[in-house]
Amino acid sequence: MAVDNDTALVLMQNRKRIYRQRVNKMSRYDIQQVCENGHKITGCYTKAPEDRAEFCKKCGAKTIIACPYCHKKIPGDELRGDWRGIWNPVNSLDVPCYCTSCGKPYPWTQKKIATAIQIFEEFGELDVKEKKTIKKDIENIAKDVPEAELSARRIKRIWDKYGLLAYEAIMEFASRTAAKILKGP
Ligand SMILES: [Zn+2]
Ligand SMILES: [Zn+2]
């Protein structure tokens, strides 16, 4: 049976529309490359291989694309397929603090926590009780755990002894809940 031109055109448009609807719903994540100090190298490790780097141009540290503990790839930019089947970046992700696969802090988060602990231990005049809890308190405020609130309040109480240096070191990794308490009245 012969199909006239108009019918053929409508059929083709329909097919294109259906394909577009299907493909628009598809999205996936690329891989992120980050240096060990937490500088983002690229969020499109797979899609844009030309952006990859073995070492960071900001600090010279080695770069990674996966969690050192469980080897799960670090999630990168969100990609969406267009009607031609080409994947385009639509949403750029920040450098994450923790691995969502095993829950361990990434190397840059570990370094920031270690630095903050060091600042408090070296520059503060902690009493015996504070010395006991400071490490755990700092680790807690990096995460959104129920204990973070108590830890943030404790840190806030001894805050004045440390000044700006400690404030900046802590705010680098404090979870949103903890940051709110630390900044609050
Ligand atoms: Zn770097
Ligand atoms: Zn992991």
- Express each pLDDT in 119-146 by its tens digit: 888 776 788 888 888 889 988 888 878 8
Residue 66 alpha carbon to ligand 2 centre in Å: 8
Q: Quick check: 20 pLDDT over 70?
A: no
Q: State the Cα angle at 177 between 34 and 150, rounded to 5°.
A: 120
Residues paired with residue 88 on neighbouring β-strands, in sequence order: 80
CB within 8 Å of 135: residues ≥ 6 apart: 117
What residues pack around ion ligand 1 (CB closer than 5 A)? 35, 37, 39, 56, 58-59, 61
CA of 58 to the centre of ligand 1 (A): 5
Q: Is the pLDDT of residue 102 over 80?
A: yes
CA 83 to chain centre: 30
CB 169 within 8 A of CB 115: yes
Ligand showing the shortest atom-to-Cα distance for residue 37: 1
pTM: 0.72
What is the C-alpha to C-alpha distance for residues 133 and 123, in angstroms, rounded to an integer?
16
pLDDT of residue 48: 94
Looking at per-residue confidence, does 12 or 46 come out higher?
A: 46
38 neighbors 108 (Cβ within 8 angstroms)? yes
Please give the Cα distance from 31 to 46 (Å, whole number): 6
22: confidence class by pLDDT, cuts 50, 70, 90 = low
pLDDT at 164 > cutoff 80: no
The answer to whether 61 and 37 are in contact (CB under 8 A) is yes
Measured from the alpha carbon of residue 95, the closest ligand is 1
